[in-house]
Amino acid sequence: MAGKSFKYVIIGGGVSAGYAAREFCKQGVKPGELAIISKEAVAPYERPALSKAYLFPEGTARLPGFHVCVGSGGERLLPEWYKEKGIELILSTEIVKADLAAKTLVSAAGEIFKYHILIIATGSTVIKLTDFGVQGADAKNILYLREIDDADKLVEAIKEKKNGKAVIVGGGYIGLELSAALRINNIDVTMVYPEPWCMPRLFTAGIAAFYEGYYANKGVKIVKGTVAVGFNADSNGEVKEVKLKDGRVLEADIVVVGVGGRPLTTLFKGQVEEEKGGIKTDAFFKTSISDVYAVGDVATFPLKLYNDIRRVEHVDHARKSAEQAVKAIKSNEEGKTIDVYDYLPFFYSRSFDLSWQFYGDNVGDAVLFGDNDPASPKPKFGSYWIKDGKVVGVFLEGGTPDENKAIAKVARVQPPVENLDVLTKEGLSFASRKAVSKGPSTCYKGKGEAVGEWNRKSSLHQHSGVVKRKELRIELRIL
């Protein structure tokens, strides 16, 4: 089959691809030079919408409403935009072979694509229970969420099983956001996860207690400390029961599984250097192979702020890494230099009437502050993480745009703290103050001991304590 040749090819049609295309246009790309090859049937879109407004019964999001780059406040890139810019969108095309030495890609249909510079933006795929041979995991209405086709299946299931029962397997991003979305659709929801609390990669026990209490007040049932080990189906092959390891059996008309993902790097195995589960890159997202870049979920890159190398699965990094790679490509062609990627880890979520943001690193001692009573009409609380006498991470629920900017700046600047009591007493005002003033250097006096007590009689808002944490490097997934 006759091949097509392009100067630049982006493999993968997710968030990174759309933001890379926009950056190519900013930097200057000629018609016919750039192609995006995607196995999806639609132009790049903002994937986080799928677990939020796409599932809402009212104010529902649908394409073309959330094509990139609206997620960062930019222009919406409709399919017509790519055509106008001379960018070839090659959709519904799965690449099954990549020969990086020959600079050639081959599709499932046998099409051959040649390139001069390749950007790998293949993202992640969900981990499925069928991968582990879980009994009955191939029943109908056991669903996953990664792409728009998955979201469409879930929307149909919600309509078909009106007022039915759903079991959400997993307590991370997908578990929390989909539990909220299904509950808003008047589905009876039970969330099941093996950990002692939800979102364990980021949340402390104190943070998680608020969300678990809030969800319980919304009617979401939570089953912790166990896993799904099997499923029973009816005569039509539709799931009817979820069997748990602890012996319990839950009724279910819908099951949504969100137990993690893995980066899609199979095509490039043995051809590029890998590390920490991803494709190793430099601070410009260049891989060990000349003229091959990797961005988003698949990239393991130098995190300058912490003098570390990490892989980050989140839409914010997907956007920014794509832009950095394109700037690097174009600057290299022009004999110019650009700054290395200096990323501040950022994660966020929205569910029900809640909205939180986190910046930095969740290592060291954690100090909880503010009103984290699940019954509060307007809860606002957060947490600081302190390591080596400096604030290295900040979490905030219910923050205003200015307050969120303040915690971002604090996580970036990493101000020293006098002692943990300062953070407990000042709470959010510490971040606001430090964001506008560098302030004098002070000495850290905390030793990781508790500085507050949990008064159970007065509910969660009395809790302003310190939790000693293992130094877990966060590699949060969109799940």
Same fold, 4-125+262-333 and 144-245: yes
Nearest-CA neighbor of 191 among 146, 250, 267, 131? 250
Domain 4-125+262-333: CATH architecture, name and number where available = 3-Layer(bba) Sandwich (3.50)
Tokens of 475: 């590699």
Domain 353-468: CATH architecture, name and number where available = 2-Layer Sandwich (3.30)
The pLDDT value recorded for residue 451 is 29
The pLDDT value recorded for residue 439 is 44
Q: Tell me: the pLDDT tens digits for 72-116?
A: 999 999 999 999 999 999 999 999 999 999 999 999 999 999 999
| CB-based burial label for 356 (10 Å; 0-12, 13-18, 19+) | buried
d(CA 64, CA 52): 16
Q: Tell me: the pLDDT tens digits for 262-317?
A: 999 999 999 999 999 999 999 999 999 999 999 999 999 999 999 999 999 999 99
d(CA 5, CA 170): 43
Task: Spell out, as residue ranges, where the chain has pLDDT lower than 70.
Answer: 1-2, 437-479
> Is the separation of the CB atoms in 328 and 285 below 8 Å?
yes
Angle subtended by helix axes 173-184 and 205-217, to nearest 10: 20
DSSP bridge pairs for 250: 242
Residue boundaries of the structural domains of the chain? 4-125+262-333, 144-245, 353-468
Tokens of 429: 């005002």
DSSP letter (8 states) at residue 416: B
What CATH number labels 144-245? 3.50.50.60
Give the contacts of 377 (CB within 8 A, at least 6 positions apart): none
Give the contacts of 209 (CB within 8 A, at least 6 positions apart): 197, 372, 460, 463
Cα of 458 vs its chain's centroid, Å: 34
The pLDDT value recorded for residue 418 is 81
The pLDDT value recorded for residue 447 is 33
DSSP 28-44: ---TTSEEEE-SSSS--
Q: Tell me: the pLDDT tens digits for 234-273?
A: 999 999 999 999 999 999 999 999 999 999 999 999 999 9
